[in-house]
């Protein structure tokens, strides 16, 4: 079983360009799996993990409600933001500077074939990382992502999640607010959930700026343990 994951940090990259790259890697894995099945081949599938920070963008999942975007096209332009309808689950969310976005593109046949377990593991990676900063992060029943003060009037989301999976291959992932400008969330009903706030790690810690490289290192550490994997900088097998 290939438990290596190819890690790429794309820096700041346009949402659509990153989405296209995800689709390319996703298709590469699927093509290998299809070839294995049709030709009884034994080719290994690669696994990938992308870190990225997007310029201001709002994305709407396939089951989302466009009315949860509170800006017109002209207002989007004024805010310097773009908008995309995309093929992940979930409703509307925001990505922008100061937010760490992680896209695991994994063949779950290399790990475990359970999408619910996969989502819980992604949440656990975030929960364990935030614990290192002295925050008690939790799941909120019936709501994806990671929250603080669940079950109280002060409940607030710090990490959004939305994934797509086909033939046990995943794409899209999580968006953790680290130094995010929370004002951009005022222009949507985040994830379609009314009456609950959004927060960022720098706000919770009461500091101006959190070291994002350190947060990424902690995320990767917990991901490796939970997924019993190792991050590498390049693929060790060729895909067709």
CA dihedral over 126, 1, 26, 68, signed as positive or negative: negative
- Identify the band that residue 237 occupies on the pLDDT scale cut at 50, 70 and 90: very low
37-58 residue pLDDT tens: 889 888 999 999 999 999 999 9
Query: Is residue 191 annotated as part of the catalytic site, yes or no?
Result: yes
Q: Is pLDDT larger for residue 142 or for residue 237?
A: 142
Rounded-to-integer distance, Cα 232 and Cα 216, Å? 15
The segment with the largest mean pLDDT, out of 31-45, 87-101, 200-214, is: 200-214
Catalytic one of 191, 210, 219, 220: 191
Indicate the domain borders of the chain. Answer: 51-101+112-227
- Cα separation, 46 vs 137, whole angstroms: 31
Strand partners, 231: 5
Q: How confident is the model at residue 238 (pLDDT cuts 50, 70, 90)?
A: very low
What pLDDT, on a 0 to 100 scale, did the predictor assign at position 239?
Answer: 37
| Domain 51-101+112-227 fold | BirA Bifunctional Protein; domain 2 (3.30.930)
Check pLDDT > 60 for residue 176. yes
Overall pTM surpassing 0.85 (yes/no): yes
Structure tokens at 79: 């805010």
Residue scoring higher pLDDT (142 or 120): 120
């Amino acid at each position: 079983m290939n438990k290596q994951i190819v890690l790429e940090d794309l820096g700041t990259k346009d949402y659509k360009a990153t989405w296209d790259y995800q689709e390319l890697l996703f298709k590469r894995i699927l093509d290998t799996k299809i070839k294995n099945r049709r030709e009884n081949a034994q080719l290994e599938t690669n696994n990938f993990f992308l870190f990225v920070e997007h310029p201001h963008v709002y994305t709407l999942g396939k089951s989302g409600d466009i009315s949860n975007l509170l800006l017109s096209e002209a207002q989007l332009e004024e805010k310097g933001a773009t908008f995309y309808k995309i093929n992940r689950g979930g409703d509307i969310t925001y990505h922008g500077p100061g937010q760490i976005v992680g896209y695991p593109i994994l063949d779950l046949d290399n790990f475990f074939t359970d999408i619910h377990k996969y989502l819980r593991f992604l949440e656990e990676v975030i929960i364990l990382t935030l614990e290192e900063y002295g925050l008690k992060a939790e799941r909120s029943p019936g709501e994806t992502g990671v929250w603080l003060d669940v079950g109280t009037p002060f409940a607030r989301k710090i990490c959004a999640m939305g994934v797509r999976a086909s033939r046990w291959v995943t794409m899209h992932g999580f968006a953790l607010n680290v130094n995010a400008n929370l004002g951009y969330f005022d222009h949507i009903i985040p994830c379609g959930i009314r009456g609950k706030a959004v927060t960022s790690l720098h706000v919770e810690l009461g500091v101006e700026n959190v070291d994002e490289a350190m947060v990424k290192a902690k995320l990767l550490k917990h991901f490796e343990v939970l997924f019993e994997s190792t991050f590498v900088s390049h693929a060790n097998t060729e895909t067709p």
